[in-house]
Chains A and B, each alone.
Chain A
Amino acid sequence: MSELRFDDVTVRFGRGGRALTAVDGVDLTVPSGQVVGLVGESGSGKSTLARAAVGLAEPAGGQILLDGVPLRHRPGARRPLQMVFQDPYSSLDPRMTVGDSIAEAMPRGARRRDEVVRLLELVGLDADRVSAYPGALSGGQRQRVAIARAVAGQPDVLIADEITSALDVSIQGTVLNLVRTLQRELRLSMLFISHNLAVVRYVSDIVAVMYLGRIVEVGPARDVLGNPQHPYTKELLAAAPRRGSTALPPPDAVADAEPADPHHPPAGCRFHPRCPVGPLIRTDREHCLTLDPTTEADHRLHRAACHHAAGVLRAVGSNPPVLMELKEDSL
């Protein structure tokens, strides 16, 4: 029901020589009533971005806006953003009944008892679970309670951080179905984080790809997955399992490159040490070593942070028009 916008948000941990910029100037909008799926490898800053939104991490720069108004987090005050966490075993207080946990998240003055029962039924649990302790529930059931608690806060935006990755494969589906139904029924705006592209594809309207603290590609889910622009997105897609695939895709020249160290992000394009169409493979792309592709991202398709993505209006350096080039080697 509301729009969440990250405006040039930066989050830093530590100080001095050991500082780490986990989120580096991220612009991202979660439009009202839509689901933005955020993918990226571990350590790329997905969770940090989410935690910054709900006030668990302090942005070092930029603004987080809800319907154009900067968010303020005062302890004790109601938060218009709610979050569901990865591990359902640690996200519920073991010393509190399910009912109390849910009721605690409600705004003051709500008719708690009825409301708790209604929420439990909404997430597909029996009303008599109100007085159960989390210890008596299975992982999937706990995750339902966690979702009920998040919805109880009557959030404007819901953030789901890897909510199925701690669950058994046979349980994941039910939780994903629930989240999708709830989102549609309540017309929630949602930021859905996962490292699993297939899962993100299933729930999201918009897909954003994060690499080393930056959004490297964002756009409508169908477009991004159907016509990926950034080489990293392509790599993720290639790595995602497809029904019936019974062989590994062939290796490429940088297949064994080491993941980058977030303490020392590479200069120029952050993806260049691993880029299969980058400067380590193609000698004519030396500009990737020095020129940061994020600055011009707005001019490209899917705001891709790659000099060689489609949609660039001007050629980089003395290269031939990039659009042409892309057609040749698109994977």
Chain B
Amino acid sequence: MTTTVSAPVLTTHPWLAFAVRRLGRLAGSVLILVSAAFLMIHLIPGDPVRGALGPAAAQSLVDAQRASLGLDNPLWQQYVDFLHHLVTGNLGTSITTGLPVSDVIRDRLPATVELAVAAFLVAMLIAVPLGLAMGVLTRGGRRPRAELGFTSTAVVLAAIPEFLLAVGLVYIFAVTLHWFPVAGRGSVASYVLPVLSLAIGPAAVLARICRVELLAVLQTDYLRTARAKRLPAAAVYLRHALPNAATATITVGGLLLGGMVAGTVLVENVFGWPGLGSTIVSSIIAKDYPLVQGVVLVYGVGVLLVNLAVDVILALLDPRSTIRES
């Protein structure tokens, strides 16, 4: 019974259709991510184990390691094993430390997530109100000097990469002023500099986009309609402009959050933050491929989840988007 109804329901009910389509895309992306992580080791020119252990290691050691990693099996079988292990939560063992990769990740993931989420919240809290306020204040070419100041500051801040910002902040606030610690993760104070260096650039980008979006919405015919209804200015902005400007802001916000997840890699290295970012760099340099693989997977899944969240929020906000997409 249910199977006979489900087909037409899937195609007719916009929300169900949206969910099916979106989950399908997620599944596809995850499969590609997993395959890429798997292929990574095989794309490396030469023998990855030899590379990891160094030219001086005995051949017998290399062979043993190869065997334990299953590298001597046919490719398809390695792939099947890889998928099988993934499903059971087994990400292999680190070549350098011999610890299970999943343990390393469990250890280090919280620090990175904390950093990314805190930075995201800070960026949103700064950028959205600032961008909207600037949009309202500079609409229709008002206050050209404030606009120039805002835009140029934002351009400059957005152009400085997080690791340089981190170095600058460390120099000013840690080395010179001694307000915050230089590195490490512990007290609340130790969060300030890493979070700021991660948040400022994206906040600048987002604030600019917020402003531009708001200006675009203020130009639309339906905003003219709202004004023609003689609503008070606050109602025009809050009820009509804001929800429509939010769409692009959230889209970009999602992209930025994805970027922040990746940005933690560099910032963690500046601050000696005990998260996944420092792990992936050291493991790339040490050629500890199973560990690299595991961390790449975690980062990738994180990004995909962020994208999913953004799409769901957008669909909720904009009644057309579920239909528009198809």
How far is it, in angstroms, between the C-alpha of A16 and the C-alpha of B8 when the chains are bound? 10
Residues of A within 8 A of B11 (CB): 16-18
Residues of B within 8 A of A17 (CB): 8, 11-12
Residues of B within 8 A of A16 (CB): 11
Provide the main secondary structure of the chain B interface: helix
| B326 interfacial contact with A, CB 8 Å | yes
Q: How many residues of B contact A (CB 8 A)?
A: 4
In the assembled complex, the CB of A264 is this many whole angstroms from the nearest CB of chain B, namely: 12
How far is it, in angstroms, between the C-alpha of A98 and the C-alpha of B228 when the chains are bound? 44
Chain A residue at minimum C-beta to C-beta distance from B12? A17
Residues of B within 8 A of A (CB): 8, 11-12, 326
Chain B residue at minimum C-beta to C-beta distance from A16? B11
Within 8 A of B (CB), among A14-34: 16-18
In the assembled complex, the CB of B285 is this many whole angstroms from the nearest CB of chain A, namely: 49
How far is it, in angstroms, between the C-alpha of A90 and the C-alpha of B11 when the chains are bound? 36
Residues of A within 8 A of B326 (CB): 18
A/B interface sample: 6 pairs, CB < 8 A:
A16-B11, A17-B8, A17-B11, A17-B12, A18-B11, A18-B326
In the assembled complex, the CB of B214 is this many whole angstroms from the nearest CB of chain A, namely: 29
In the assembled complex, the CB of B310 is this many whole angstroms from the nearest CB of chain A, namely: 25
In the assembled complex, the CB of B260 is this many whole angstroms from the nearest CB of chain A, namely: 38
In the assembled complex, the CB of B236 is this many whole angstroms from the nearest CB of chain A, namely: 31
Residues of B within 8 A of A18 (CB): 11, 326
How far is it, in angstroms, between the C-alpha of A17 and the C-alpha of B7 when the chains are bound? 11
How far is it, in angstroms, between the C-alpha of A18 and the C-alpha of B12 when the chains are bound? 9
Residues of A within 8 A of B8 (CB): 17
How far is it, in angstroms, between the C-alpha of A45 and the C-alpha of B12 when the chains are bound? 25
How far is it, in angstroms, between the C-alpha of A165 and the C-alpha of B212 when the chains are bound? 34
Chain B residue at minimum C-beta to C-beta distance from A17? B11
Residues of A within 8 A of B12 (CB): 17
In the assembled complex, the CB of B9 is this many whole angstroms from the nearest CB of chain A, namely: 11
How far is it, in angstroms, between the C-alpha of A127 and the C-alpha of B12 when the chains are bound? 58
In the assembled complex, the CB of A286 is this many whole angstroms from the nearest CB of chain B, namely: 29
How far is it, in angstroms, between the C-alpha of A16 and the C-alpha of B12 when the chains are bound? 11
How far is it, in angstroms, between the C-alpha of A112 and the C-alpha of B47 when the chains are bound? 63
**How does the 8 Å CB contact mask read for A1-45 relative to B, with 1 for contact and 0 for none?**
000000000000000111000000000000000000000000000
In the assembled complex, the CB of A15 is this many whole angstroms from the nearest CB of chain B, namely: 10
In the assembled complex, the CB of B16 is this many whole angstroms from the nearest CB of chain A, namely: 13
In the assembled complex, the CB of B124 is this many whole angstroms from the nearest CB of chain A, namely: 36
In the assembled complex, the CB of A144 is this many whole angstroms from the nearest CB of chain B, namely: 32
How far is it, in angstroms, between the C-alpha of A18 and the C-alpha of B11 when the chains are bound? 9
**How does the 8 Å CB contact mask read for A294-308 relative to B, with 1 for contact and 0 for none?**
000000000000000
Chain A residue at minimum C-beta to C-beta distance from B8? A17
How far is it, in angstroms, between the C-alpha of A17 and the C-alpha of B13 when the chains are bound? 11
In the assembled complex, the CB of B224 is this many whole angstroms from the nearest CB of chain A, namely: 23
Chain B residue at minimum C-beta to C-beta distance from A18? B326
Chain A residue at minimum C-beta to C-beta distance from B323? A18
How far is it, in angstroms, between the C-alpha of A17 and the C-alpha of B12 when the chains are bound? 8
In the assembled complex, the CB of B133 is this many whole angstroms from the nearest CB of chain A, namely: 37
How far is it, in angstroms, between the C-alpha of A16 and the C-alpha of B21 when the chains are bound? 15
In the assembled complex, the CB of A18 is this many whole angstroms from the nearest CB of chain B, namely: 7
How far is it, in angstroms, between the C-alpha of A18 and the C-alpha of B8 when the chains are bound? 12
How far is it, in angstroms, between the C-alpha of A319 and the C-alpha of B278 when the chains are bound? 88
How far is it, in angstroms, between the C-alpha of A16 and the C-alpha of B326 when the chains are bound? 12
In the assembled complex, the CB of B294 is this many whole angstroms from the nearest CB of chain A, namely: 41
